[in-house]
Chain A
Amino acid sequence: MANQSGQIYGLTILSPILEGDTLDIAHATALRWYLASLPRDHTSPFAQVSSTHFARLVVMDDVVFVGAPAIEEHLKSRYLVFETNFDGDLDAYLARMAKEIPDFVDSVWKHCVGYPGVADPAAFVAYMKKCQIETTFFFADVNNQTVQQNLKALQLQSALSHFIGQNQGKPAAEIQKSFGVLMEHLAKAPAPLPGGRDSEKTAAEDRPYDR
Chain B
Amino acid sequence: MNAVTPMKPWKTPILRVLFFVLGAIKPLQSGLKNLSFIHFARWVIIDRTQFPHLGPKQPQEKLQYDYLIFFSNFNGTWNQYIDAFSAVLSTGLDAIWVWSEKFPGSVPVTPFKGYINQVQFDTDYYYNAYPRAATNDVKAALRVQDAFTDFAQTSQTLSPAEFEKAYLEFLVRVQADLGSTGMAPVGT
Which residues of A approach B to under 8 Å, CB–CB? 2, 8, 10, 12, 14-16, 31-32, 35-36, 38, 40-41, 44, 46-47, 50, 52-61, 63-64, 66-67, 70-71, 73, 75-77, 79, 81, 83, 85, 112-114, 127, 130-131, 133-142, 145, 147, 149-154, 156-158, 160-161, 164, 171-173, 175-176, 179-180, 183, 194-196, 198, 207, 209-211
Q: Which residue of B lies closest to A146 (CB)?
A: B129
B38 and A141: CB pair below 8 A? yes
A153 and B129: CB pair below 8 A? no
- Given A40-B127, A60-B4, do A150 and B38 touch, yes or no (CB 8 Å)? no
B155 and A145: CB pair below 8 A? no
B32 and A141: CB pair below 8 A? yes
User: CA separation between A21 and B131, bound complex, in Å?
Assistant: 40
- Using a CB-CB cutoff of 8 Å, which residues 92-130 of chain B contact chain A? 100-102, 115, 118-119, 121-130
Q: Chain B nearest CB: distance from A201 CB in Å?
A: 14
- Given A16-B52, A135-B44, do A113 and B155 touch, yes or no (CB 8 Å)? no
B119 and A64: CB pair below 8 A? yes
B40 and A54: CB pair below 8 A? yes
**6 CB-based A-B contacts, threshold 8 Å:** A53-B39, A64-B119, A140-B40, A141-B33, A175-B164, A196-B132
With an 8 Å Cβ cutoff, the count of chain B residues facing the other chain is 88
B46 and A66: CB pair below 8 A? no
Top-10 shortest CB links A-B = A114-B54, A153-B141, A172-B164, A194-B129, A157-B141, A35-B125, A46-B127, A70-B101, A76-B59, A57-B125
User: CA separation between A38 and B152, bound complex, in Å?
Assistant: 41
